[in-house]
Structure 1
Amino acid sequence: MSTGLTWRDGRAVLSAVHGRRVHEREVVPGTEVGWLLAGPRRCTGAWLVGRDERTPCPHHAEIDPDGGAVQCAPCQSVDRGLALARDQILDDGRTYRLYLAWFGEGLLKVGLTAEQRGTSRLLEQGALAWTFAARGALPAVRRAELTVSSAGLARERFKVRAKLEHWWEHGDADHRRAVLTEARTRAHALLRGHDVELLPEHPVVDHVAVFGLTGGAPAVYHAVEGLADGAVVAGRLRAPVGRHLLLDRADGEPPLLLDTRLLTGWTLTPAVGRPPSGLALVPRARPEAPDTQEALF
């Protein structure tokens, strides 16, 4: 059963479980892949407090084949990551870092991540550029996050669709660096007196080249909006962007964009060489540049 895509030590890794055995495969651009999906789609279990490995779903529960959720309700209720997001864990003894992440013009995000996770959370979110702004215990960093967001400097979340639309046009690295450096300076002014260690010298890290987006996203691609039992996902991998895979098709049709969270929970068997089938696809195209030519008459 697929358990999705994560980033570890700067590498994107697809994982699957068979019983207690975990299988992992690095996402390498240029690789031909193909998977035949078999249902039903099942809950992937939960990450519990105090454990370093995913705990399988004790109910072996089925989940919505087209849904974004990859867990059943009972597993969601005990998952460590979801509990943190809902402020149900006040402190877990770990050190956290406050980050500012840039997803495109006007899309500046503030968030926190456990220091032991390094930069994985920023890569998984598909941040085009980012910097760490502060560090400290969970309660202090969470207060800092709320202070920055309530001041209107950055938001705590953006919808995936908003991020994708900025893959076509994201400015240059100097601009991204300038925006984040200025935002961090403003954040530090807001955080004076907070019980956190400010990080004024942390570099701005750029992921545009890592994600293969230097020239922008493909002008036209087909986004996978739904999967079904018996569907085939196949193509030649491009660089992964966050948790998304771009796959070039052998028939010359526009590339596929797959949010790997949709793949999670399905049983996969190899199907390299087969064409994609059984996919609900939505065409996406680069918006035309606005016509700024003045009227001739």
Structure 2
Amino acid sequence: MTIPAPQHPERPAGWISTGLSWHDGRALLGAVRGGRVHERAVAPGTEVGWLLGGPRRCTGAWLAGATERTPCPHHAEIAPDGGATQCPACQSVDRGLALARDQILDDGRTYLLYLAWFGEGLLKVGLTAEQRGDSRLLEQGALAYAFTARGGLPAVRRAELTVAASGMARERYKSRLKTDHWWSHGDAPHRRTVLTEARARAHGLLKGHAVELLADRPVVDHVERFGLADGAPEVYREITGLAPGAVIAGTLRPPVGRHLFLDQPDGSGPLLLDTRRLTGWALTPVTGRAPEGLALQERVRPPEPDTQEALF
């Protein structure tokens, strides 16, 4: 006789990481256990240690109109090193993904068009719900930004497409390209000038659009807040892979978007964790443990370009 398999996998035990998010200017590390939610503020100087338990699981979806994440009803496993943090079923109903894929035409909310600066030549155009303030910009790790226009979702989305089509800004950049620019990002006056001039050009493109143009909103700079005034560490090791039984440990620096630098007591240089990689793993607090079981890639500040004129 064959015993039928259960309809859903067994509900995982322990707290499952939901990664890092920003709310009201605060970076919070989240975890869920069933319907319970736990959030911890990311405080620089805090020592942390996590033992990872697997398998990695989908953490559910944000449904339309919901104020909290809905747990994955299937308790589905996801790839340990995949970029996706949700199973296909939860991706299909997640409100944020639907918005990004233009599957929501209007939701009655007011949106802000922004221009964000991630480094020289990396100007991004995007939109965010006005009620979220600058949380989306902080989560993306924008080094500086300027709100540019305001209106309903359809109008702001058309404005976003218009600016992107002009070639002055792109709608997205890969994470690696952003982190490459942490070593050298100019000074605050330069960032402010770039964004002020870009906003003026965008306003020229958006004449006749059904949006309110925002000429007097300040340029906001996050470089000091992210602890990058002197750039990223000269040498650090980026966590590129996790597995069950791995340990992540160290002393926190200020978060940069969804990334965390963790200093090591042996002076070996900090680790860099993209907390999206942490999402879906069961976490057990540990103390006095060194990092182990991690795939690492060394990152080194590139040499300054040689601008000396040739002698001959």
**TM class, shorter-length:** over 0.9
Tell whether 2:277 aligns with 1:256. Answer: no
Identify the match of residue 186 of structure 2 among 171, 186, 189.
171
- TM-superposed CA distance for 1:250, in Å, is 1.1
Q: CA–CA distance in 2 between the matches of 1:227 and 1:169?
A: 29
Q: Which amino acid aligns with 1:202?
A: R
Q: How does 1:1-297 map to 2 (within 5 A)?
A: 1-296=16-311
Secondary structure at 2:240 match in 1? strand
- TM-superposed CA distance for 1:42, in Å, is 0.1
Q: CA–CA distance in 2 between the matches of 1:72 and 1:115?
A: 29
Secondary structure at 1:170 match in 2? coil
Secondary structure at 1:142 match in 2? helix
Secondary structure at 2:131 match in 1? helix
- TM-superposed CA distance for 1:68, in Å, is 1.3
Q: CA–CA distance in 2 between the matches of 1:292 and 1:5?
A: 40
Q: Which amino acid aligns with 1:119?
A: D
- TM-superposed CA distance for 1:296, in Å, is 4.9
Q: Give a deviation string over 1:53-79, Cα, whole Å, max 9, x none.
A: 101001100000011110000100111
When residues 194 and 294 of structure 1 are mapped into structure 2, their CA distance, relative to the original with a 3 A threshold, is: closer
- TM-superposed CA distance for 1:294, in Å, is 4.1
Q: Give a deviation string over 1:20-59, Cα, whole Å, max 9, x none.
A: 1111110000000000000010001000111111010011
Give TM-score scaled by structure 2 length. 0.94
Q: CA–CA distance in 1 between the matches of 2:254 and 2:233?
A: 12
- TM-superposed CA distance for 1:272, in Å, is 2.2
Structure 2 residue runs without a partner (length 5+): 1-15
Give TM-score scaled by structure 1 length. 0.99
Secondary structure at 2:40 match in 1? strand
- TM-superposed CA distance for 1:290, in Å, is 2.1
Structure 1 residue runs without a partner (length 5+): none
Secondary structure at 2:202 match in 1? helix
What is the count of residue pairs matched by the alignment?
A: 297
- Aligned identity (percent) is 76
Compare 286-295 and 1-10 and name the one that shifted more.
286-295
Q: CA–CA distance in 1 between the matches of 2:202 and 2:310?
A: 44
- TM-superposed CA distance for 1:295, in Å, is 4.7
Q: CA–CA distance in 2 between the matches of 1:222 and 1:196?
A: 44
- TM-superposed CA distance for 1:293, in Å, is 3.2
Q: Give a deviation string over 1:120-178, Cα, whole Å, max 9, x none.
A: 00000000000100010000000000000001111000011110011000000000000
Aligned to 2:13: none
- TM-superposed CA distance for 1:251, in Å, is 1.4
Q: CA–CA distance in 2 between the matches of 1:83 and 1:8?
A: 21
